[in-house]
Amino acid sequence: MTSPQADKEAVPEEGYERGLNSRQVQMIAIGGAIGVGLFLGAGANIAKAGPSLIVMYALAGVIIFFIMRALGELLLYRPVSGSFAEYSREFLGPFFGYFTGWTYWLMWVVTGMAELTAAAIYINYWFPAVPQWTSALVFLIILFAANLISVKLFGEIEFWFSMVKVTAIIGMIVIGLGVLTLGFSQAGDTAAVSNLWAFDGFFPKGIGSSLMTLQGVMFAYLAVELVGVTAGESENPEKTLPKAINTLPWRIALFYVGALTVILCVVKWTEFAEGVSPFVKAFAVIGIPAAAGIVNFVVLTAALSSCNSGMYSTGRMLRNLAESGEAPKVFTKLSSTKTPALGIGVSVVFMGIGVVLNYTVPEKAFGYVTSVATAAGIWTWLMILISHVLYRRRVTAGRLPASSFPAPGGSVCSYVAIAFLLFVTGLIAYDADSRICLYVMAGWAVALGIGWAVLKSRNPEVTARREPDLEKVG
């Protein structure tokens, strides 16, 4: 007879189909790093920080790599679905596992709202008369229908969505380099590397304004940790996960730093504004109208892809919480296609709040939801890092086996990343526009605290701390 903890650890993967192959996991990881934060959010951030935004993306990219290597070490120590909640539960206690699982669910629900908002904005490029909320609602329904499929088909859809995004960015870089070196197109006379500093310098609005964009930059990196959620449905996590994580620096260097550098050389930073995709703007300036329409289609698929991934994640996280006794048991059930259909459905209902926001405050909807998603994402990343630090302490003390994929520098990089995330949280608190997300998170914490108190009174065993069964480790 197995222990309750052993049963609990085995359950998250039980019933799922290991249908994600290496090719799909790699592209899900790449696609997770390319979302609406880059394609749409970067426009507003360029207007705030100018060319210095490149440095902000590079700096944040280094921190994201530290977070992912910490997660990678934990995943290879004990690969489980719902990994963030599981590690918080193990190293910080049941309440933190409960809080992290629900907060990661909130992050993806809110991110789904942001992606729906972005998709509606992209539709306005072709159909300006169509209200934002209408487009958002239509996409929500279509994606919900598409998500009730096998994980293998989900992986294939995400593979091709990611291929579209990657091809578009590489195409933008190649065309931009052609404009810079050969001088063709309408932008040929004004495109130059000197555009990076010719208009009031590299930090045109000061270092302070540049640092204030970090909250938006961090939102752009949300979802890179999605590979951790796929652990329970990957064919060979011991091989595919390290490869996906180790290629992250190259993806950041190419898709974020490289693409933004080329765009800001081709187009003066002063021409960018909030709500305008830098990629669409760059093609329009170059003078290829058809290409601008194509890029708009690409960024539309990017938004829909990320929302689709959000539905995937929320369903799995709700099932993990239910298996741990921290959500209604009904969420443990799988459909005939081995997907947590009910959990996805409930998440989609909450994503519908984004449709309401697009109806009531369409001009502010994107800013509101991205700030809340960023705050929830920062909590998740902090839990990964703190769990990693505590795991390394136990390994050093000889209480736990070492992972086959240790993070470089041990716990040092995790401490650096923790300090950085706390700094970004301080920036969010300082900014009047984004501060609202901290009020939302405070309300969320109170709601979860009440839920925990009710859970503890009804089922004390669920809230009791239990050590993992070390026979299951490795």
Q: How far is Cα 253 from Cα 197, in angstroms, rounded to an integer?
A: 20
Which residue has tokens 């947590």? 340
So what's the pLDDT on residue 18?
57
Task: Among 45-49, 100-104, 182-186, name the one with the lowest average pLDDT.
Answer: 182-186
Q: What DSSP state is assigned to residue 247? A: T
> Taking 70 as the threshold, does the pLDDT of residue 215 lie above it?
yes
So what's the pLDDT on residue 424?
93
DSSP 370-434: HHHHHHHHHHHHHHHHHHHHHHHHHHHTTSSPPPSSPPTTTTHHHHHHHHHHHHHHHHHHH-TTT
The answer for residues whose C-beta is within 8 angstroms of residue 345's C-beta and 6 or more apart is 144
Q: pLDDT, tens digit, for every residue of 77-93?
A: 887 766 678 899 899 99
Q: How far is Cα 121 from Cα 109, in angstroms, rounded to an integer?
A: 19
Q: What DSSP state is assigned to residue 198? A: T
DSSP 115-163: HHHHHHHHHHHH-TTS-HHHHHHHHHHHHHHHHSS-HHHHHHHHHHHHH
Which residue has tokens 């929830």? 376
- What's the CATH number where 382 sits? 1.20.1740.10
Mean pLDDT of 25-36: 67
Q: What DSSP state is assigned to residue 234? A: B
- Dihedrals φ, ψ of 234, to 5°? -90, 145
Cα-to-chain-centroid distance, residue 163 = 18
Q: How far is Cα 59 from Cα 61, in angstroms, rounded to an integer?
A: 5
So what's the pLDDT on residue 5?
42
Q: How far is Cα 77 from Cα 79, in angstroms, rounded to an integer?
A: 7
Average pLDDT of every residue of the chain? 81
- pLDDT band for position 29 (cuts 50, 70, 90): low
So what's the pLDDT on residue 67?
93
DSSP 274-294: TTS-HHHHHHHHHT-HHHHHH
> Taking 50 as the threshold, does the pLDDT of residue 9 lie above it?
no
Q: What DSSP state is assigned to residue 255? A: I
DSSP 359-372: HH-TTTHHHHHHHH
Mean pLDDT of 346-370: 77
Which residue has tokens 């404009």? 179
User: For residue 462, how many other CB atoms are within 10 A of its CB?
Assistant: 16
Residue 136 to residues 39, 250, 407: CA-CA distances in angstroms? 17, 33, 40
Q: The tokens of 84 are what?
A: 């963030």
Q: pLDDT, tens digit, for every residue of 50-73?
A: 999 999 999 999 999 999 999 989
**For residue 420, what are the domain limits?**
4-472
- pLDDT band for position 114 (cuts 50, 70, 90): confident
- CA 217-219-220 angle, to 5 degrees, is 65
Q: Select the highest-mean-pLDDT range: 65-79, 377-391, 452-466.
A: 377-391
| Residues 82 and 341 sit within 8 Å (Cβ to Cβ) | no
Mean pLDDT of 437-449: 92
User: For residue 463, how many other CB atoms are within 10 A of its CB?
Assistant: 18
Residue 186 to residues 198, 277, 286, 462: CA-CA distances in angstroms? 19, 19, 5, 65
Could you give the number of structural domains in the chain?
A: 1
Q: pLDDT, tens digit, for every residue of 400-412?
A: 999 889 999 889 9
| Residues 48 and 233 sit within 8 Å (Cβ to Cβ) | no
| Residues 458 and 465 sit within 8 Å (Cβ to Cβ) | no
Q: Which amino acid is at 5?
A: Q
- pLDDT band for position 19 (cuts 50, 70, 90): low
User: For residue 276, how many other CB atoms are within 10 A of its CB?
Assistant: 19
Question: b/e string for 157-180 if b means 16 or more Cβ within 10 A?
Answer: bbbebbebbbebbebbbebbebbb
So what's the pLDDT on residue 7?
41
> Taking 50 as the threshold, does the pLDDT of residue 22 lie above it?
yes
> Taking 70 as the threshold, does the pLDDT of residue 176 lie above it?
yes
| Residues 32 and 309 sit within 8 Å (Cβ to Cβ) | yes
Q: Which helix (H) or strand (E) holds 45?
A: helix 42-49
- pLDDT band for position 96 (cuts 50, 70, 90): very high
Q: How far is Cα 371 from Cα 354, in angstroms, rounded to an integer?
A: 13
Q: Which helix (H) or strand (E) holds 323?
A: helix 289-323
User: For residue 202, how many other CB atoms are within 10 A of its CB?
Assistant: 16
So what's the pLDDT on residue 4?
41
Q: pLDDT, tens digit, for every residue of 115-173?
A: 887 788 888 888 888 888 888 888 888 888 877 766 677 777 778 888 888 888 888 88
Q: What DSSP state is assigned to residue 38? A: I
| Residues 227 and 76 sit within 8 Å (Cβ to Cβ) | no
Q: How far is Cα 32 from Cα 19, in angstroms, rounded to an integer?
A: 18
Which residue has tokens 């470089």? 408
Cα-Cα-Cα-Cα dihedral sign, residues 131, 132, 135, 136: negative
> Taking 90 as the threshold, does the pLDDT of residue 1 lie above it?
no
